[in-house]
Amino acid sequence: MSIDGDTTDLAEATHAAIDEQAGLTRRNSLSPSRASDFMTCPLLYRFRVIDRLPQAPSIDAVRGTVVHKVLEELFDLPATERTHDRANLLLGPAWEQLLAEEPGLAEIFGDPGVDSDRPEGPDLATWLEQCRGLLGRYFALEDPQRLEPAEREVHVVTQLESGLTLHGYIDRVDVAPTGEVRIVDYKTGRSPGEHFEAKALFQMKFYALVVWRTRGVIPRVLQLVYLGNGEMLRYEPDERDLLATERKVAALWAAIRRADDSGDWRPNKSVLCGWCDHKVICPAWGGTPPPLPVLPVPEAPKSPAM
């Protein structure tokens, strides 16, 4: 398990390339994942966003990426072909494609008794079986033959009056004939306990805020689909919720800017440190962070020739 991980660095890298093309940088934009990093631990945000330290691929995050890919591709098929068997057939090619893009992922699987250097954990066959189990739970929760998503894996972007750009990637947007919008996000982990529910919903309210600001419609339902234990979390936001989210995001951004200006990125030691890739360089655990990277100084504009 990773600290938040439902997808891999590879998925993040794909998103980062799109962000870069759109001119979104750490100084002008915020996504729900990075906002959540800062809320979890400002130092974690620094390691991910400022230092851009790589994270070891976790078996859970890779499973998340592959299952997300299958669920996205499932809706490319005609409705009558969106069956559990067909989804299982998409699994192998989705994994092969991911592996071709990042061959090192093969190393994350255990191979007990054959190669003692391999990590503990499931071998590939067991892991693929676990992925099929997650897909099975999906089909117990939703019938994709009765759904026609308006958009999938959609990048939503809006700029607030302050100049800050909010953006994120929504797994699925459904639009009813009445125009009502439902935002859907798949999670391959288990549904959160009551203490972490607000954190999970923050991401969805963030998306809802961006959709409201760009399309003028407050999404009727925010729906988190937890394939780890086959549960759904649904929430119906209202204008007050989204205005409160906007204020919260603005306060978070102000705190991020302050930390960036001062270089004071404080660790926030918590139970989540157990899943942090950077524990060994974290001062809260006796480590020493690397020096902050030096940003290139922008060139001064040339004065016009006399």
CB of 168 to ligand SF4, least distance (A): 22
Positions 118 through 147 that interact with ligand SF4 (CB under 6 A): none
CB of 291 to ligand SF4, least distance (A): 16
CB of 302 to ligand SF4, least distance (A): 42
Supply the DSSP symbol for 50: I
Toward ligand SF4, which CB reaches closer, 233 or 284?
284
Contact code string over 56-75 relative to ligand SF4, x by CB under 6 A: --------------------
Instruction: Report residue 305 CA to chain centroid gap.
Output: 50
DSSP 32-94: HHHHHHHHH-HHHHIIIIIS----PPPHHHHHHHHHHHHHHHHTTS-GGG--HHHHHHHHHHH
**Identified binder of ligand SF4 from the candidate list 11, 30, 41, 249, rule CB under 6 A:** 41
**Identified binder of ligand SF4 from the candidate list 285, 286, 296, 297, rule CB under 6 A:** 285
Cβ atoms of residues 30 and 253 within 8 Å: yes
Give me the numbers of helices (H) and strands (E) for the chain, helices first please: 8, 6
39 interacts with ligand SF4 by CB under 6 A: no
Toward ligand SF4, which CB reaches closer, 35 or 209?
35
272 interacts with ligand SF4 by CB under 6 A: yes
Inter-axis angle of helices 59-74 and 84-101, nearest 10: 130
55 interacts with ligand SF4 by CB under 6 A: no
Near ligand SF4 by CB under 6 A, which window of 27-35, 80-88, 155-163, 280-288? 280-288
Toward ligand SF4, which CB reaches closer, 44 or 135?
44
279 interacts with ligand SF4 by CB under 6 A: yes
Q: Phi/psi of residue 165, each to 5°?
A: -100, 125
Distance CA 224, CA 83 (A): 21
Cβ atoms of residues 67 and 188 within 8 Å: yes
Residues 6+ apart with CB under 8 A from 65: 7, 8, 10, 11, 98
Distance CA 51, CA 43 (A): 10
Toward ligand SF4, which CB reaches closer, 10 or 272?
272
Cβ atoms of residues 275 and 3 within 8 Å: yes
Q: What token pair was written down for 7?
A: 């997808």
267 interacts with ligand SF4 by CB under 6 A: yes
CB of 286 to ligand SF4, least distance (A): 10
249 interacts with ligand SF4 by CB under 6 A: no
Q: Which residue has the tokens 């990042």?
A: 102
Toward ligand SF4, which CB reaches closer, 38 or 206?
38
| Residues near ligand SF4 (CB under 6 A) | 41, 43-44, 267-269, 272-273, 276, 278-279, 282, 284-285
